[in-house]
Amino acid sequence: MKPYLLRCFPLCNFVLIVALAACGAAAAVPVDSYKVVATYPHSTDSYTEGFFYRDGMFYEGTGLEGHSAVLVIEPQKGKVLQRRDLTGPYFGEGIIDWGPNLYEWTWQSHICFVFDRFSLRPVKQFTYAGEGWGMTRTAYEIVTSDGTATLRFRNPETFQEVRHIDVHDGVVPVTQLNELEFVKGEIYANVWHSDRIVRISPRDGKVLGWIDLAGLLPQDERMNNESVLNGIAYDAQHDRLFVTGKQWPKVFEIKVVPHGR
């Protein structure tokens, strides 16, 4: 064996140990499954980009230019009780409530629309840099995604970024973060073109776990390849979790089944 190979061994072993440790850390993150508790009707015309539950209603933001809107929906029958269309060349994205208002931002137009939550009457607009994807809120801030591994925390009064976190599973960045929901102190995020939801620490971006929703809606019930899982809503009062997808025919109420059960 040549001397330079002998000298290399300690360094190689160190790199191997670090790599194995990283793999072990990633393997320790639990992957939970689910069971379906109930289903609700959902319009296959709705290209779901934003979704939340409040006061017995689903609030939904839909995308695609010429079809983008904010909808207030009665869950049991899937009946649209209120609708506000985004006029103009806007591709609607994530939505969230804040006080008496409702925010919906747009994919590439750099405009966030603010509506009165009760009448859906326009109140004001914000502008921002970059793309708009998902949106949720904590008690103090609005949280947004832009398709990268970065989540931005924004001042609801100005929509300006106050801090951000980079989401990582061990040492691996988790990109393509899409629709968001704040659940029991954690951020739940859809990952574009994935049947998994990632659970994220809002403090440092660490992945706390995954929820594998494979098989929830069979491929033959999806409109096309873009009919992906995208929509998480949480009823905190009754501890109910709802999920849906773009142009899916159903909203699913699910219970998370912890790993190993």
Tens of pLDDT, residue by residue, the chain (261 residues): 333 333 343 444 343 334 434 444 445 799 999 999 999 999 999 999 999 999 999 999 999 999 999 999 999 999 999 999 998 899 999 999 999 999 999 999 999 999 999 999 999 999 999 999 999 999 999 999 999 999 999 999 999 999 999 999 999 999 999 999 999 999 999 999 999 999 999 999 999 999 999 999 999 899 898 989 999 999 999 999 999 999 999 999 999 999 876
Query: For 23, which DSSP code?
Result: H
Dihedral of CA atoms 249, 252, 258, 261 in degrees, nearest 10, equals -80
Show me where the domains of the chain are located: 30-257
- The rounded Cα 176 to chain-centroid distance in angstroms is 10
CATH architecture assignment, domain 30-257: 6 Propeller (2.120)
Q: What does the alpha-carbon distance between residue 63 and residue 209 come to, in Å, rounded to a whole number?
A: 28
Rounded to whole angstroms, how far apart are CA atoms 19 and 222? 39
